[in-house]
Structure 1
């Protein structure tokens, strides 16, 4: 069943887009990531223009996060206090990212910048995740001893002033740390259409020192509001949001997020991280191939008698 996308200016198979949204929503519920880091490159592979893919993916991430946040709220897995600080930083970052997006778009470099950022970001994050997940799998199988637990939060975070208590996370740190982290992910949300969960979760664990019980839910809480703000900014400034594409993605992602949240309770965390790391690296390699490989003949003419 083909549908026409008015902003992307092409026709797509609706079932393929819904299935793509379902798969990304599944990952959102399982790993606490918005899924935009996969949605945008997959849409680009399908033929959607990068600017439209990035802007529309942000709205899809919003829908997937709504479903996931409710699932974690019911289990008390959201630090609302920490999440609100992250949201403030994310909204400010979205506004800054909108100006940067407009500058790059006016220069004609936005598509290339999006692809390069994805290759660098997914390659580095995927490599670190793969290394960490392989170590975790070895520990779970008794092949090596678990490393000694390090200090709860990074020394740079401990140096920041104006400390607050975040009771759900068990932290006493400066709100400037999550504010800066939220600002950075807000910029990424505007430029790449990502929720930022694949950066937020490691940062909350290893930089802020948050407890694992509330990390995934708090990540989804921040992603929900920041991607909603980014979608509104895109719709009013860049005008690159394709509502038809966004609705198709949402249909699949909302259902996928609920199923993913249930699966996450049954599967081993180290195995889930290993699977996600492999997926991220595969997408990075495919994006890199699109940047460096070109066909021998870009244009071809066929005569039909």
Structure 2
């Protein structure tokens, strides 16, 4: 069943797009990640223009994160005070990222920039995840108990002024630290179309030193608001949000997440992290090949002078 996407200006098979959303939802439910960092590359592989893929993925991430944030909020696993600071930083970063996105689009470099940013971030994050997963598996095979890292904030965070207590997170740090973290994720949300959870969660644990029990819920709380702002900025400034595409992805993602959560119960956590790391690296390699590979058919536009 073919549908015409008015913003992307192309026809797509609706079942294929729903299946892509279902695949990302399945992986999200299995690995416990937002999945936005996979949605955009998969859409690009399918042929959706990168700028449209980024903006529509941010819309889909907003919808899919609401239910998760509400679930953690009901269980009291959201630090609203910390979340408010992160959201404030995310707003600032989203606005800055939107101007950067619009400027790159005006130069005609936004597609290449999106690809490069994804290759760098997915390659870096995937390598770190692979190293940690292999180290954990090696320790378990040797009978050694996996070492847990102590929960403490980074020395640079401790050096920042104007410290404030965040009782739910169990930290006494400057609000400038989460504000800067939120701003950085806000920029990435606009440029990459992701919620930023795969960066936010490690930063909250190892940079800010937050209690693990509130990290995921607070991250989802921040994602809902920042991706919503990013969607509005994309829609108003660059007009790259294709709501029909986002709805199709969301339908598949909701269904796929349920099956992914069930499948995750049958696999050990260290194996799940290993599979996710390999998947992230595979996507990074595929994007890098797409950037470096010379197309079979080259096109050029020449203007004849009268």
Report the TM-score, using the length of structure 2 for normalisation: 0.90
Residues 162 and 74 from structure 1, CA distance in 2 versus in 1: closer, same or farther, beyond 3 angstroms?
A: same
Judge which range, 21-30 or 148-157, deviates more: 21-30
Deviation at 1:17, TM superposition (A): 1.1
Deviation at 1:297, TM superposition (A): 4.3
- CA-to-partner distance for each residue in 1:41-78, whole Å, 9 max, x for gaps? 10000000011001111000011111222332343332
- CA-to-partner distance for each residue in 1:194-219, whole Å, 9 max, x for gaps? 11111111111111112222222221
Residues 160 and 167 from structure 1, CA distance in 2 versus in 1: closer, same or farther, beyond 3 angstroms?
A: same
2:5–2:245 Cα contact (<8 Å) kept: yes
SS in 1 for 2:86: helix
Hey, what's the Cα distance between the residues in 1 that align with 2:74 and 2:140? 29
1:221 aligns with 2:229: no
Residue aligning to 1:73:
73
Hey, what's the Cα distance between the residues in 2 that align with 1:94 and 1:264? 33
Hey, what's the Cα distance between the residues in 1 that align with 2:44 and 2:70? 30
Hey, what's the Cα distance between the residues in 1 that align with 2:250 and 2:292? 32
Deviation at 1:264, TM superposition (A): 5.8
Residue aligning to 2:289:
289
1:46 aligns with 2:20: no
Hey, what's the Cα distance between the residues in 1 that align with 2:212 and 2:260? 18
Residue aligning to 2:302:
none
Deviation at 1:119, TM superposition (A): 0.6
- CA-to-partner distance for each residue in 1:98-154, whole Å, 9 max, x for gaps? 110111011111111111111111101100111012112233444445346345111
Unaligned runs of 5+ in 2: 300-306
Report the TM-score, using the length of structure 1 for normalisation: 0.91
Hey, what's the Cα distance between the residues in 1 that align with 2:272 and 2:78? 21
Residue aligning to 1:303:
none
Unaligned runs of 5+ in 1: 300-305
Residue aligning to 1:88:
88
Judge which range, 225-234 or 263-272, deviates more: 263-272
Hey, what's the Cα distance between the residues in 1 that align with 2:47 and 2:283? 15
- CA-to-partner distance for each residue in 1:9-44, whole Å, 9 max, x for gaps? 111111121122223234444545332211111000
Residue aligning to 1:178:
178
Hey, what's the Cα distance between the residues in 2 that align with 1:218 and 1:28? 17
| 1:145-164 alignment, distance < 5 Å | 145-147=145-147, 149-150=149-150, 152-164=152-164
Hey, what's the Cα distance between the residues in 2 that align with 1:28 and 1:91? 25
Judge which range, 17-26 or 255-264, deviates more: 255-264
Hey, what's the Cα distance between the residues in 1 that align with 2:175 and 2:265? 30
Deviation at 1:296, TM superposition (A): 4.3
Residues 85 and 272 from structure 1, CA distance in 2 versus in 1: closer, same or farther, beyond 3 angstroms?
A: farther
